[in-house]
């Protein structure tokens, strides 16, 4: 298989807990995923990124791993996992595992041993500091609390950049590194298609200098990881890197450096957050800024790196509720607009489960409805700081991670076909309107826009990965760009607003061929766009 297969692939993210329950316990599982592989094949996906399915006490829903080589019994067995890889392979779909190697669960054998004594060989697998007079070792924070946890029996603190049940691994310990490499090879040998590397920008940290992201040893460590493990296999690797700028992304993804295939960068995602504040502190999105950010990444990574393209994941609110419009009238139109805007960009697209049918945020009215540890911690922290309950709940409703974690909506049956039992997190009541069955029955549903876009990308690879230029529209709510390779051009125009918009392109679209359009009408050359109207056209030859 071509070494760069992932450049022309569409990847679908599954949050296993919420995808499909097959054994009636209210929790999604591996056999459930197998049952739904044909849905993914029909959509056109080439690979699945599976959020963690390893053994875990689930403090952070699997991002706290207690054994990397065991499957969480809630999800099935290792035999089920092998069968998933095999069944996916029969459909030419690869399985990408989530690799959480910045930290383990505090229940991991290594950490349990580490707690026993300072002389235990596993003690140094983690990051420990002492401190006089019961002061904390320093001011490093994990969200709103100290990142140091005191262990009285050792009179030492350990570092955890997430919850205290997720102690950080010490990447300076050679034995720990080797153990992680060995584990990675175990998975590669199973024939998986690659890894998504969780918060990988943290592994080069220098806690004493208060450096967490992008530490001095980060890139040498990733290069070494590549050389010792996945660099020897034909797989894709994508790093989660909240702190990446285009310059940093090139360090990770320039193929000559032999680190990762690509990274998830979050500059566009951070655009509706107040500078220097946490994600909960919102500000309105400016579509022009969004366009500038995307355009910058398109230009700067060209030939020197690779983009991951995404609107959603299991940590983010549903994009339609965020930057689209989840009202009945505009939900699908705005979802199609967002997809059309993104899918002519160069890079590898990731679709998060339910995005293809336009699932929306879920509104809660009390903290008891929340499962997510991050939202819960923020709730109690801000209550202490004097915020009102209403204000905090509004933040959770807008940005909370549970928004993306409510069960997948498959059909009109009880619990949307996700489970026959009580689901671990409630099913959104809007499943009667928004579900796969209904989407498939409707020829012009959002699902078919995604399917078509995936196919269009495959058929127009050279143009989509060709040159990129912003097209001026004279209207800040109308975003446009052109892609071209020699005489072949694709022009994308989207109205990012709910209002009718005038624009001018200074390009005549009369002789163009429509590739995709979210309105059931002819593309209007009168320079007017309806609410959320979006299209892409192809122009061949010199008739621009």
Using the minimum distance from each CB to ligand NOJ, give the nearer residue, 222 or 434: 222
Taking CB under 6 A as the criterion, the residue among 60, 168, 355, 533 binding ligand NOJ is: 60
> How far is 186 from 190, CA to CA, in rounded Å?
7
Using the minimum distance from each CB to ligand NOJ, give the nearer residue, 176 or 439: 176
> How far is 354 from 450, CA to CA, in rounded Å?
11
Using the minimum distance from each CB to ligand NOJ, give the nearer residue, 17 or 314: 314
Pairing of strands 94-99, 47-50: parallel
Taking CB under 6 A as the criterion, the residue among 36, 94, 123, 162 binding ligand NOJ is: 162
Size of the site for ligand NOJ (CB under 6 A): 9
Using the structure block, give the residue that is written with the tokens 């702190």: 243
Beta strands in 389-500 (DSSP E): 467-470, 478-485, 488-495
Using the minimum distance from each CB to ligand NOJ, give the nearer residue, 240 or 325: 240
**240 labelled catalytic:** yes
- 485 phi/psi in degrees, rounded to 5: -140, 120
Taking CB under 6 A as the criterion, the residue among 21, 315, 355, 356 binding ligand NOJ is: 315
> At its nearest, how many Å lie between ligand NOJ and the CB of residue 373?
8
Per-position x/- string for 85-124, each x denoting binding to ligand NOJ as judged by CB under 6 A, each - no binding: ---------------x------------------------
Cα 496 to Cα 75, 254, 259, 325, 362, distances in angstroms: 40, 32, 36, 10, 23
Element (H, E) at 148: strand 148-151
The CA angle 391-397-403, to the nearest 5 degrees, is: 160
> At its nearest, how many Å lie between ligand NOJ and the CB of residue 60?
5
> At its nearest, how many Å lie between ligand NOJ and the CB of residue 528?
41
**198 labelled catalytic:** yes
Residues, the chain: 544
Using the minimum distance from each CB to ligand NOJ, give the nearer residue, 262 or 482: 262
- 429 phi/psi in degrees, rounded to 5: -65, -15
Per-position x/- string for 235-274, each x denoting binding to ligand NOJ as judged by CB under 6 A, each - no binding: -----x----------------------------------
- 512 phi/psi in degrees, rounded to 5: -90, 165
> How far is 362 from 433, CA to CA, in rounded Å?
14
Residue whose C-beta lies closest to ligand NOJ: 63
Cβ 56 vs Cβ 66: under 8 Å: yes
Cβ 350 vs Cβ 13: under 8 Å: yes
> At its nearest, how many Å lie between ligand NOJ and the CB of residue 314?
6
> Of residues 60, 64, 198, 201, which has the active-site annotation?
198
> Of residues 240, 267, 326, 372, which has the active-site annotation?
240
Using the structure block, give the residue that is written with the tokens 């990881």: 225
> How far is 161 from 158, CA to CA, in rounded Å?
10
Using the minimum distance from each CB to ligand NOJ, give the nearer residue, 63 or 535: 63
DSSP bridge partners of 484? 467, 489
Taking CB under 6 A as the criterion, the residue among 49, 54, 63, 148 binding ligand NOJ is: 63
> At its nearest, how many Å lie between ligand NOJ and the CB of residue 143?
10
Q: Which parts of 18-161 fold into alpha helices (H)?
A: 30-35, 37-43, 78-90, 109-114
> At its nearest, how many Å lie between ligand NOJ and the CB of residue 256?
28
> At its nearest, how many Å lie between ligand NOJ and the CB of residue 522?
43
Using the minimum distance from each CB to ligand NOJ, give the nearer residue, 101 or 534: 101
The interface with ligand NOJ within residues 190-229 (CB under 6 A) comprises: 198-199
Count of CB atoms situated within 10 Å of the CB of 405:
21
Q: By the criterion CB under 6 A, which residues form the site for ligand NOJ?
A: 60, 63, 100, 162, 198-199, 240, 314-315
Q: Which active-site residues does the annotation give?
A: 198, 240
């Amino acid at each position: 298989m071509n070494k760069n297969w992932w450049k022309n692939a569409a990847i679908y993210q599954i949050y296993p807990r919420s995808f499909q329950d097959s054994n009636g316990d209210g929790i999604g599982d591996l056999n459930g995923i197998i049952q739904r592989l044909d849905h993914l094949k029909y959509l056109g996906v080439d690979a699945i990124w599976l959020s963690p399915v390893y053994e875990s006490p689930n403090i952070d829903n699997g991002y706290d791993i207690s054994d990397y080589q065991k499957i969480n019994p809630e999800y099935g067995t290792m035999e089920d996992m092998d069968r998933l890889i095999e069944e996916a392979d029969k459909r030419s779909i690869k399985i990408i595992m989530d690799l959480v190697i910045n930290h383990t669960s505090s229940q991991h054998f290594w950490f349990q041993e580490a707690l026993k004594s300072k002389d235990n060989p596993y003690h140094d697998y983690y990051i420990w500091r002492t401190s006089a007079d019961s002061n904390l070792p320093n001011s490093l924070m994990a969200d709103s609390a100290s990142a140091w946890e005191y262990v009285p029996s050792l009179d030492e603190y350990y570092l955890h950049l997430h919850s205290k049940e997720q102690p950080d691994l010490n990447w300076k310990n050679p034995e720990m590194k080797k153990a992680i490499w060995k584990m990675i090879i175990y998975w590669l040998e199973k024939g998986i298609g690659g890894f998504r590397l969780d918060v990988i920008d943290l592994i080069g940290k220098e806690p004493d200098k208060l450096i967490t992201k992008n530490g001095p040893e980060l890139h040498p460590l990733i290069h070494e990881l590549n050389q010792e493990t996945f660099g020897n296999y034909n797989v894709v690797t994508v790093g989660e890197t909240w702190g990446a700028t285009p310059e940093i992304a090139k360090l990770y993804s320039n193929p000559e450096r032999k680190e990762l295939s690509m990274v998830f960068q979050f500059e566009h995602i951070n655009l509706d957050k107040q500078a220097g504040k946490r994600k909960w502190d919102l500000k309105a999105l400016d579509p022009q800024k969004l366009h500038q950010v995307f355009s910058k990444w398109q230009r700067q990574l060209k030939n020197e790196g690779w983009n991951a393209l995404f609107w959603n994941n299991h940590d983010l609110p549903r994009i339609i509720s965020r930057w689209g419009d989840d009202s009945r009238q505009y939900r699908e139109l705005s979802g199609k607009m967002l997809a059309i805007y993104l899918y002519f960009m160069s890079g590898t697209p990731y679709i998060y489960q339910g995005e293809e049918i336009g699932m929306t945020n879920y509104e809660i009215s009390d903290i008891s409805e929340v499962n997510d540890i991050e939202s819960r911690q923020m709730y109690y922290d801000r209550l202490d700081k004097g915020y009102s309950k209403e204000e905090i709940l509004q933040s959770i409703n807008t940005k909370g991670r549970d928004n993306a974690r409510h069960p997948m909506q498959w059909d009109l049956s009880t619990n949307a076909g996700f489970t026959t039992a009580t689901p671990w997190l409630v099913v959104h009541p809007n499943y009667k309107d928004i579900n796969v069955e209904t989407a498939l029955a409707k020829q012009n549903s959002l699902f078919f826009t995604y399917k078509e876009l995936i196919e269009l990308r495959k058929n127009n690879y050279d143009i989509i990965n060709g040159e990129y230029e912003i097209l001026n529209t004279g209207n800040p709510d109308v975003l446009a760009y052109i892609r071209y390779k020699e005489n072949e051009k694709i022009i994308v125009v989207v109205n990012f607003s709910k209002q009718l918009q005038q624009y001018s392109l200074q390009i005549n679209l009369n002789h163009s061929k429509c590739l995709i359009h979210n309105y059931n009408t002819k593309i209007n050359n009168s320079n007017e766009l309806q609410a959320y109207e979006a299209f892409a056209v192809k122009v061949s030859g010199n008739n621009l």
